[in-house]
Amino acid sequence: MSTTKPNLILFSIIFIVIALVSPLEEFWQIKFVPLWTDLLIYVLVVAVLLFGIQVRHKEHLRVPWRHVLQRPLAMSALVVLGVYVLIGLMDSLHFRQALEKQQGQTETQYSGDVLSLFDVLATPIRVQQEKSYSAPFSAFLYAKETIETPEGQVRDYPRLQYGGRHLKIPAQDRIPNLVMALFLSFVATLLILLVVFVVVVFFVAHHYKTAFGDTMDAIVGGKTGIPFRAMLITFSVICFLVVVVVMLADKYHILGTDKVGNDVLYLSLKSIRTGLVIGTLTTLIMLPFAIMLGIMAGHYRGWIDDVIQYIYTTLNSIPGVLLIAAAILSLQVYLANNPEMFDTVTERADLRLLFLCLILGLTSWTGLCRLLRGETFKVSQLDYIQAATAFGTGHVKTMSRHILPNITHIVLIAIVLDFSGLVLAEAVLSYVGVGVDPTTISWGNMINSARLEMARDPVVWWSLVAAFVFMFTLVLAANLFSDAVRDAFDPRITRSK
């Protein structure tokens, strides 16, 4: 089947979405703010969809991906990654809300605050800001203050404005309230899981032309080609956590609050987009340099190989942190001298995030380039490539049609393996002060702001733990999925099996 029709359908959908931007702005009274990172993220989504269409119609690509889909651990990790990606995409649709028109005003004015779709959905935990620190599920501030009482002034822990405000006597009512909420969440999760399970069984039975009962037994017994049982178990855990958050987010600060009273759960979820942007866009910037220069060095050899080796050897000799710090500090000076370039603080912070991705991409392509150079040396000795060269096939055609397809497995393995390292790199760079803008919510900034609180007595531990748990979950899921991709695409592992 030709891929022309699916490609036309995809581009038609993109054109329709673009055409609907203005009517949607008028209907919802908003003004879309297309950040550079937003545009690049959705370009990457389109590229992934197009790649999926190509995989579907090419057997040599479909076979290894089929092996990935048959790995229970990989598919469970994919479900977790899907949740992270969904949150990241919702947080990548930015807009400014219209202000109420004053008497006699004809032109619509928009708020200076740039919100995202995720911000709107997370309004209950976004707007409920306390005075300062509060522990998870607490109804009181974490530090004593002077409180006015009928008996006079006393030093005590004041009640929170939002967290636990529905509790008359927090010491007595909190535990029964939480137990009841967890029970209701468990029941709601069972109902949702039952509906999802029936839908999955129906579609699988329809696709494979099998009986409904036999399909249900196969899924429950874990005897299907795609491990639906493992995916449903992972989905049920995530669903339970989501239901708990939905039921309790407007009543408690589930993960506590930070120094200025912001909800830590909101900050942790908001940081997902920053981690995904660093991991994906940096890879997108890195790949053209690594692929082009690596193949050219291995194919042309001679002085071209010497020049490319000199470039990446010189680049590797410069400490990466110092190069990134110099670039970020130069950007800061430029932004400070040109404040009129940006309408909002969000756009200014987004440019710094994009610039950080650019610097990380320009400094991290050397390792993959070296691998592709060595693999191209080996592939160039294959008989059919030697024959193509002997028959006068051009260099560009030889590299694009014969060499590149034979080194694709290395590119795919490098992409999924480098993603985790880049997510961790953002945390480290923000910790030392040369990462994303301080106004950008990220796990690195959360860790950087929480490190000084570890010396308090009592210790404020929840911000650091929350950032670590969310980052660890993303990195672990990415590593588990990358292991399956490596096993499926590495020809040495495939042959050994």
Residue 454: is its pLDDT beyond 80? no
Sign for the pseudo-dihedral over CA of 396, 401, 404, 406:
negative
Euclidean distance between CA atoms 103 and 121, whole angstroms: 31
Q: Is 436 left (phi over 0), alpha (psi -120 to 50) or beta?
A: beta
| pLDDT at site 1 | 45
Token pair 């493992």 in the structure block, residue = 230
Kindly tell me if the per-residue pLDDT of 74 is higher than 70: yes
pLDDT, position 495: 46
Q: Which residues pair with 145 in a beta bridge?
A: 156
pLDDT at residue 129, rounded to an integer: 87
The per-residue pLDDT for range 90-106, each reduced to its tens digit, is 998 888 887 777 766 66
**226-261 pLDDT per residue, tens:** 899 999 999 999 999 999 999 998 889 899 998 888
Q: How many Å is the Cα radius of gyration of the chain?
A: 27
Among 484, 390, 418, 462, CA closest to 163:
462
389 has a pLDDT exceeding 80? no
Residue in 245, 242, 277 with CA at minimum distance from that of residue 92: 277
- Mean pLDDT for 116-138 is 88
The per-residue pLDDT of the chain, averaged, comes to 83
Over the stretch 291-349, which tens digit does the pLDDT of each residue have?
889 888 888 888 888 898 888 888 888 887 788 888 888 888 888 888 777 777 888 88
Q: Residue 490: pLDDT band by 50, 70, 90 thresholds?
A: low
Q: Please name the amino acid found at residue 252.
A: Y
User: What's the pLDDT tens digit per position in 4-31?
Assistant: 555 555 556 555 555 555 565 565 667 7
DSSP-assigned letters across all residues of 408-443: HHHHHHHHHHHHHHHHHHHHHHHHTT-SS-TTS--H
Beta strand pairing call for 30-32 and 94-97: antiparallel
List residues bridging with 95 in a β-sheet. 32, 115
Give the whole-angstrom CA distance, residue 134 versus residue 153: 22
For 76-89, what is the mean pLDDT?
93
Asked, as a colleague might, if the bond just before 458 is cis with ω within 30 of 0, I would say: yes
* Lookup result for tokens 């959360």: 446
Tell me how far apart the alpha carbons of residues 233 and 229 are, in angstroms, rounded to a whole number.
Answer: 6
pLDDT at 18: 57
Phi, psi of 172 (to 5 degrees): -100, -35
* 9 compared with 381, residue with greater pLDDT: 381
Res 175 pLDDT > 70: yes
| pLDDT-wise least confident of 43-47, 200-204, 320-324 | 320-324
Cα–Cα distance measured from residue 480 to residue 363, given in angstroms and rounded to the nearest whole number: 26
Q: Does position 381 have pLDDT exceeding 80, yes or no?
A: no
CA distance 177 to 251: 10
The residue with greater pLDDT, 486 or 8, is 486
> Of the candidates 76, 65, 69, 75, which has an alpha carbon nearest to the alpha carbon of residue 489?
65
Identify the sign of the CA torsion 476, 82, 114, 39. Answer: positive
Amino acid at 33: V
